[in-house]
A and B are shown apart, each in its own frame.
Chain A
């Protein structure tokens, strides 16, 4: 069986591209780096927008990356029902590109936070999460200064109503408490998906928890889910 072709988008300032490439390879994908000036994404079955500081986070995180040539290609790719995973800065870029609802504010702590957090899998009926059980509590690292997800009440109601929340910050026992919320995200949101479920964006880094030597391989099932969904 031929391997599934995945592309990891690289902007100036992206810094999680190698980790993501490694995690995908480890999970059995055929992986390319995709330079931000690329004008087509034909041939790929999965595109990942990895973490980092594209364009130095100038103006707003993700705001400038949104207008790169690869983003036009990405829109076309999405129209053809391609799968997209945005991690950390990838989440911020997808929001700025209006491909997902809402916006990111600075963490309510005002600090760059780098630590392990617990998140709950709220949906396992997406191509990204179906190897988890619904309600699974997994431990993944976060590393961001602007991960405080915000949406107006009206938008938030729609997001909740359409079941677009895939991950929430929780405590060890799975409760979405204020203490378990590292950055002030509204409704403890750590990851959301598009209406059709083909785009997933999340602040925690599954690629940094994809083998036991890293302290946790809780994130690996995301890559394995995608592989199985596409295989």
Chain B
């Protein structure tokens, strides 16, 4: 199975990277941009057949290491590989 984890700065947290990217896109002429947030994408290949235990594991990984919940939030999905 493949876990796909999306991590982004929490709402309201200053995201200097997003701001810089937004500025650069604006300078390139993309005038429709309202906001840019830059996060992380992590793929984890799991040797696991049971979807529920895969979900449990990935959630634990996020909570203990992959995400700092003071400043970040996350979502993930798991697909058959």
Question: Which A residues contact B (CB, under 8 angstroms)?
Answer: 59-60, 63-64, 67, 96, 102-103, 105-110, 148, 150-152, 184
Contact = CB atoms under 8 A, between A and B. Distances in A.
B66 interface: yes
B65 interface: yes
Given A105-B14, A150-B70, 6 more contacts: A64-B65, A103-B68, A106-B17, A108-B16, A150-B13, A150-B71
A63 B7 CA distance: 15
Contacts, number: 35
A87 to B, nearest CB: 20
A108 B14 contact: yes
Interface string B19-37: 0100000000000000000
Interface residues of B, number: 10
B65 A110 contact: no
B68 A110 contact: no
B20 A103 contact: no
Contacts of A151: 70
Interface string B38-81: 00000000000000000000000000011010110000000000
Interface of B: 13-14, 16-17, 20, 65-66, 68, 70-71
Nearest to A102: B70
Given A103-B71, A150-B71, A59 B66 contact: yes
Contacts of B20: 110
A184 B17 contact: no
Contact of B17 (A103, A110, A150): A110
B71 A110 contact: no
A105 B13 contact: yes
A105 B65 contact: no
A196 to B, nearest CB: 22
